Amino acid sequence: NAGVTQTPKFQVLKTGQSMTLQCAQDMNHEYMSWYRQDPGMGLRLIHYSVGAGITDQGEVPNGYNVSRSTTEDFPLRLLSAAPSQTSVYFCASSLAGAGYEQYFGPGTRLTVT
Amino acid sequence: AQSVSQHNHHVILSEAASLELGCNYSYGGTVNLFWYVQYPGQHLQLLLKYFSGDPLVKGIKGFEAEFIKSKFSFNLRKPSVQWSDTAEYFCAVTVTMDSSYKLIFGSGTRLLVRP
């Protein structure tokens, strides 16, 4: 099992550019989520999905889109990058929901200039 | 609004010292409680969890946490820390928010253990 994988590991964008952060899991987990980690603020939930075809917003969804067409994949799209989106992004999955152990990916460090 | 507070942002200890990291949450309903750890250069992993039953839960690497419902607290403890415990520790709570079930993290505590 590869667990939760994320690509890329590092990314630099210019303001206004768009990109997609990839996340995949091979554990057949129904629940997947995206967090951003900023110094002194911990992890904040961006979007989450309770299964294929179902997504919902977290605490800080503005500027991000998600979709869940398969159980395995949960990409995060930045539509028009802003410097405020400079952060480390973590994808996580769990068997059945937020109340279960979350398995985290290695993270993507994004810098927006 | 529901929140999770970790009051100690940075903690520095010598090896063999005892550790207690505070975690308080503001939510009156049923909660599931977690502590996650992020070692330098690694991704987050579960340290321990509380769902129900005995309020004193034991996790990996000698860590334990006590759920005190009346104080809305879930403090993490370890009797004797090691240099390898240097990491960032996050408390997390599942809450119902906007009619859905979400996992909310605290801001984290950076622990540095000096050899």
pLDDT tens by residue, B67-78: 999 999 999 999
Q: From the list B42, B90, B101, which residue is nearest A99 (CB)?
A: B101
Is the pLDDT assigned to residue B99 strictly greater than 70?
Answer: no
**Across all residues in chain A, what is the average pLDDT?**
94
Q: How confident is the model at residue A2 (pLDDT cuts 50, 70, 90)?
A: confident
Residue type, B16: A
Interface of A with B (CB under 8 A): 33, 35, 40-45, 48, 56, 58-59, 90, 92, 97-99, 101-102, 104-107
The DSSP letter of residue A100 is S
Is the pLDDT assigned to residue B98 strictly greater than 70?
Answer: no
Cα B115 off chain centre by: 23
CA A15 to each of CA B3, B10, B109: distance values in angstroms, whole numbers, following the listed order: 31, 33, 32
From B59's Cα to the closest Cα of chain A, the distance in A is 13
| pLDDT at residue A41, rounded to an integer | 85
Q: Do A41 and B107 touch (CB under 8 A)?
A: yes
| Tokens (6 digits) for A84 | 């405020």
pLDDT tens by residue, A10-56: 999 999 999 999 999 999 999 999 999 998 888 999 999 999 999 99
Place of tokens 């210019």: A14
Q: From the list A48, A97, A105, which residue is nearest B43 (CB)?
A: A105
Q: Of B46, B29, B21, B6, which Cα lies nearest the Cα of B94? A: B29
Q: From the list B9, B103, B107, which residue is nearest A102 (CB)?
A: B103
Strands A31-38 and A87-94: antiparallel
| Tokens (6 digits) for A99 | 């109340």
Is the pLDDT assigned to residue B3 strictly greater than 70?
Answer: yes
Q: Do A56 and B34 touch (CB under 8 A)?
A: no
Q: Assign A36 to helix, strand or coil.
A: strand
Is the pLDDT assigned to residue B39 strictly greater than 80?
Answer: yes
| Tokens (6 digits) for B92 | 């997390």
Is the pLDDT assigned to residue B84 strictly greater than 70?
Answer: yes
At a CB cut-off of 8 Å and minimum separation 6, what does B1 contact? B26
From A98's Cα to the closest Cα of chain B, the distance in A is 5
